[in-house]
């Protein structure tokens, strides 16, 4: 009589991602999230919700007003759209430039220093993760402080462009902020685009080297994230044991693809966001709460 066949031992991947039977919690708490992430390294994917406590509004939280961000096609195809954008940005970028990291940003930097966080993939362009001290940061959608020429490829600082725009439009910012209004009183979108109605008299600047069209080094709606950047982000996801998502509704595929990759790999996924996200069905734990408070709570438990 042949001996009974021995059950196959779990593979390395199966052992690596094994979770307790009660680990799937779609209306979870900070404790649930900590239980899943404890003893694991994780990569963090962040969105606008992590920067709201720094004074930068988001796009899609339950309390956010309707927004119609400019598309790449509008920007490159219509000089009127470009003028309108640069007028608004010339006011709005100053608000973003004055913001500071909050406790959520600082917590992620601390967890990286402790060897728990592998790195951050952020959909934000505000550079607050870098300002907080995070060293491994992939700015998926670019950064607000640089401008690129679409013709010659030269990159200049937003500060330098501000000096040129001030010279071309003397008194413009002051006219927008008359009556004691400050930049902080004007509605500003996450991409540093201030809501200003009258912009027809604004004079945008062309590239001072070749006369080409200048564009913020930000990925617009309808524009693709550079492939090399996406590949680095995928590699960062796969270098960790788990994925933590904080402050994003994952409405666009740009961020959702990393959640899908982690799910395909069998990695635990913790999502922290106010309101539903497109990644909720893939989450191991979903915490419906603010990013800052939850991240601080997690850090004390890990």
Radius of gyration of the chain (CA): 22
What's the CA gap between 29 and 125, in Å, rounded? 29
301 in a known ligand binding site:
no
31 in a known ligand binding site:
no
91 in a known ligand binding site:
no
172 in a known ligand binding site:
no
What's the CA gap between 285 and 282, in Å, rounded? 9
Answer yes or no: 141 catalytic. yes
Q: Which of these, 291, 96, 68, lies nearest to 190 by C-alpha position?
A: 96
Q: Which of 100, 141, 160, 201 is catalytic?
A: 141
Catalytic residue numbers, as ranges: 141
- Binding-site residues from annotation: 149, 152, 207, 210
Q: Summarize the annotated binding site for Zn(2+) as residue ranges.
A: 149, 152, 207, 210
């Amino acid at each position: 009589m042949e001996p009974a066949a021995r059950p196959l031992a779990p593979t390395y991947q199966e052992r690596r991602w094994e979770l307790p039977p009660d680990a799937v919690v779609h209306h979870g708490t900070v404790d649930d999230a900590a239980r899943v992430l404890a003893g694991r390294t994780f990569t963090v994917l962040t969105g606008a919700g992590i920067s709201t406590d720094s004074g930068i509004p988001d796009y899609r939280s339950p309390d956010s007003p309707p927004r119609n961000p400019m598309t790449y096609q509008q920007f490159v195809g219509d000089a009127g759209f470009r003028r309108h954008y640069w007028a608004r940005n010339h006011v709005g970028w100053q608000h973003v430039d004055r913001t500071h990291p909050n406790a959520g940003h600082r917590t992620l930097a601390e967890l990286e220093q402790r060897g728990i966080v592998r790195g951050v993939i952020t959909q934000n362009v505000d550079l607050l993760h870098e300002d907080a001290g995070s060293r491994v940061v992939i700015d998926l959608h670019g950064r607000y402080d640089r401008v690129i020429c679409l013709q010659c490829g030269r990159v200049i600082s937003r500060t330098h462009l501000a000096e040129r725009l001030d010279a071309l439009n003397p008194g413009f910012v002051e006219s927008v902020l008359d009556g004691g209004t400050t930049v902080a009183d004007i509605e500003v979108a996450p991409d540093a685009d201030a809501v200003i109605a009258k912009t027809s008299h604004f004079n945008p600047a062309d590239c001072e080297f070749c006369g080409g069209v200048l564009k913020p080094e930000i990925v617009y709606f309808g524009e693709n994230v550079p492939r090399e950047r996406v590949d680095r982000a995928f590699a960062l996801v796969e270098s960790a044991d788990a994925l933590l998502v904080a402050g994003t509704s994952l409405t666009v595929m740009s961020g959702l693809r990393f959640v899908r990759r982690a799910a395909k790999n069998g990695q635990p996924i913790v999502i922290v966001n106010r309101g539903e996200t497109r990644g909720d069905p893939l989450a191991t734990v979903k915490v419906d709460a603010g990013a800052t408070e939850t991240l601080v709570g997690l850090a004390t438990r890990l």
